[in-house]
């Protein structure tokens, strides 16, 4: 068995198209009884009805933390994401507070992302969250606490009121066509 972090590698280019062959080993599973093979079952597949990209594969991710203070305020992030063609993410604190569903969680116990641009609003930068987004190419952080750990990994930081920054971005960024 092999596990690969899907965001750890760039997509293959045509110059990388040379095929390399690796051996495949067959494993005999006949020792498994019929009863033991029924220990797992398919439950369901759910997805959001949205035109925004999937969080794990998005080129741009807009994430909110506890600093957003409510589920209603996350709608501002969704508006920004629509304008940027971005996915929406959240910290564990925001998910635990009930602001957004669990499938939007980024971090050690959530999804691992590595977009070209990661914008964090009201995210303190707990080590568990950083583990899920540290491979992002550019990180922009907006937080009122100048000492927040997120600024240690951010390429660009804005110390200020996230609602004021969000309002200005929503005002100045044109709607996506």
Q: What is the mean pLDDT of each run of 10 residues along the chain (177 residues)?
A: 65 65 78 64 66 89 97 96 96 96 95 96 96 96 97 97 97 87
Instruction: Indicate the pTM of the whole model.
Output: 0.76
Domain containing residue 97: 60-169
* Residue 88 lies inside a defined structural domain of this protein: yes
148 found inside a domain? yes
Note whether residue 20 is domain-resident: no
Task: Report if residue 104 sits inside a domain.
Answer: yes
Shortest CA distance to 64 belongs to which of 119, 136, 107, 128? 119
Count of other CB atoms within 10 angstroms of residue 5: 9
Residue 127, in any domain of the structure = yes
Q: What is the pLDDT of residue 48?
A: 55
The number of domains in the chain is 1
Domain with residue 152: its CATH number is 3.40.50.1220
In a domain, 10, yes or no: no
């Amino acid at each position: 068995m092999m596990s690969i972090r899907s965001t750890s590698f760039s997509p293959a280019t045509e110059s990388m198209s040379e095929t390399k062959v690796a051996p495949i080993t067959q494993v005999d599973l006949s020792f498994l009884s019929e009863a033991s093979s029924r220990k797992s079952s398919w439950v369901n597949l759910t997805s959001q009805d949205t035109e925004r990209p999937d969080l794990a594969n998005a080129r741009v991710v807009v994430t909110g933390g506890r600093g957003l203070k409510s589920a209603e305020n996350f709608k501002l992030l969704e508006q920004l994401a629509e304008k940027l063609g971005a996915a929406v993410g959240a910290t564990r604190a925001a998910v635990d507070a009930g602001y957004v569903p669990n499938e939007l969680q980024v971090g050690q116990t959530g999804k691992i992302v590595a977009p070209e641009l990661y914008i964090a609003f009201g995210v303190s930068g707990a080590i568990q969250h950083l583990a899920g987004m540290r491979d992002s190419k550019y990180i922009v952080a907006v937080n009122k606490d100048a000492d927040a750990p997120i600024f240690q990994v951010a390429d660009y930081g804005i110390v200020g009121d996230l609602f004021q920054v969000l309002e200005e971005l929503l005002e100045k960024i044109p709607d996506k066509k």
